[in-house]
Structure 1
Amino acid sequence: MRGKRMDRRTFLKVAGACVLGLGVMPVTDVFGGNDLPKILRNPNALVGKKWAMVVDMKKCWDNGEEGCVDCIRACHRTHNVPNIGNAKEEIKWIWTASYENAFPDQKNEYMEESLKGKPFIVLCNHCANPPCVRVCPTKATFKREDGIVIMDYHRCIGCRYCMAACPYGARSFNFKDPRPFIAEVNPKFPTREKGVVEKCNFCAERLAEGLLPACVEACKHGALVFGDLEDPESNVRKILRSNYIIQRKPQLGTKPNIYYIV
């Protein structure tokens, strides 16, 4: 450390970087300069200014009226989402909901009958104006520069204000220790504790490695498309230009970044 004593703040920053798998340079480089840790970004990382997803339910239903659940399985397996077996205490990052529940403000008595009761893929909308972020007293949930609404589990005190503020029901609370309910732990992603809120993170840890979200990669039908809204040539922008799109509860002003083709 070049003759200097490492203080607690510096130690915690370096320890945190290593835990996240970001400490990829020699220790002598980490402590170089002003003694603040230098973290190198993976050169293969996917970088975007405003990440978004398009869910093409027509393609999803091509696999049968109920669709498949490969995206749900992949997401929950990747992120150590427990299977509590109790609807009142379930933890979910991506799940299905009926049209009436997913789009309660966009239905009428003359709507296409086939839409009623069909399962729609739903997840955190990573809103441009996220109400969950505004109400969190510890800043445990925050919006990144690329638009991803993410969580710091260590800061979460379990107040559940974010759950009350989220109009999409996209957050789950661990009423008990979730670890015994994980069939096979993925060592690449942290498990959570009792009393912590969690939700979809748009696979931020995979983007950092140059990988698409687990749900997108698992979808064999091309129903899930992920990309940068600020890039006119991205796949999501091309789809938005050529299809009629709906969003969940757009009248609330949260500006969701999940778009649906129905």
Structure 2
Amino acid sequence: MKNNRRTFIKLAAVAAAGLAVAPKAAVASSGGHSPAKVNAKAEHAKQWAMVVDTTKLHSAEEINKLAEICHKTHNVPHIEGKKEVKWLWHDTYAHTFPEQENPHLAEEVHHRDYMLLCNHCENPSCVRVCPTKATFKRADGIVAMDYHRCIGCRYCMAACPYGSRSFNWGEPRHGLDLSKLNPEFPTRMRGVVEKCNFCVERLAEGKDPACVEASEGALAFGDLYDPESPVRKVLRERFTIRRKPSVGTEPCVYYII
């Protein structure tokens, strides 16, 4: 009887300790996406969306500057070649909008570089195929990753029509300057997929995504379902297109051409 009692007390103590660290563990395991991170200043939306003004942001140098800020913020490893890990990058018009190729567009449009990232689709194909729910859609529309649930099957990569996901083939920390890590965001492990998260950790603090803040007005960000949001204002006033609209994912990144 005494042994059972001692065992019960020990287990209770362990459980209490676990509850004390659970919020931090949840934040780390979900890549900073846990509701535990939310505070009174947090930004809220039904569906976050972004508009990229390619008349203002159209060179590789400009986009690479934003990519560098994004990657430093989220401890994205620098790996060159086919095993590259990227959250934000650039590509040509033909590769970005293969379904909307128009030979009569201004030549300058074809020579621009276009900023690419996860589209945080309203109907994300990556979420449907993930067997462990490591890829999931949040209540605010952001398609998030729980790195500890990811088993590295890469079904989500095969399902994503935009090439927005990267796989960690090796140890990600080997591609990082450990003296310059951002302590506010977790690093990943070998064998998991990662991608842009629309800076959920910044939204939880009432801040815009890092790339939006640094874009000098070239990027608009807001709630797609709020008529007064910056995104809706731009969409009312300017003509925009989206990537591969025919696949039915309803991407939430729009481009002013």
Range of TM-score over shorter length: 0.7 to 0.9
- The residue that corresponds to 2:110 in the other structure is 116
CA root-mean-square deviation: 2.2
Amino acid at match of 2:168: N
CA deviation string 1:128-178 (max 9, x = no partner): 000000000000000001000000000000000000000000000000001
- The residue that corresponds to 1:147 in the other structure is 141
Amino acid at match of 2:200: A
Query: Percent of pairs identical after alignment?
Result: 55
- The residue that corresponds to 1:25 in the other structure is none
Aligned-residue offset at 1:39: 4.8
How far apart, CA to CA, are the structure 2 residues paired with 1:65 and 1:176?
A: 27
The answer for unaligned runs of 5 or more in structure 1 is 23-37
CA gap of 1:180–1:66, structure 2 versus 1, over 3 A, is closer
Q: How does 1:88-103 map to 2 (within 5 A)?
A: 88-103=82-97
Conserved in 2, the CA contact under 8 Å of 1:70 and 1:215?
no
How far apart, CA to CA, are the structure 2 residues paired with 1:189 and 1:98?
A: 31
Aligned-residue offset at 1:6: 5.6
Aligned-residue offset at 1:41: 3.7
For residue 246 of structure 1, the aligned residue among 230, 241, 253 is 241
How far apart, CA to CA, are the structure 2 residues paired with 1:12 and 1:165?
A: 36
| Matched length | 240
Conserved in 1, the CA contact under 8 Å of 2:38 and 2:205?
no
Is 1:5 aligned to residue 40 of structure 2?
Answer: no
How far apart, CA to CA, are the structure 2 residues paired with 1:41 and 1:65?
A: 34
- The residue that corresponds to 2:4 in the other structure is none
Length-normalised TM-score, structure 1: 0.85
Length-normalised TM-score, structure 2: 0.87
- The residue that corresponds to 2:219 in the other structure is 224
CA deviation string 1:34-92 (max 9, x = no partner): xxxx958410111111100000010113xx685453211110000001111x2200000
Conserved in 1, the CA contact under 8 Å of 2:118 and 2:195?
yes
Secondary structure of the equivalent of 2:70?
helix
Is 1:83 aligned to residue 78 of structure 2?
Answer: yes
Compare the two structures and name the one with the higher helix fraction. 2
Conserved in 2, the CA contact under 8 Å of 1:100 and 1:117?
no
Conserved in 2, the CA contact under 8 Å of 1:93 and 1:170?
yes
- The residue that corresponds to 1:16 in the other structure is 22
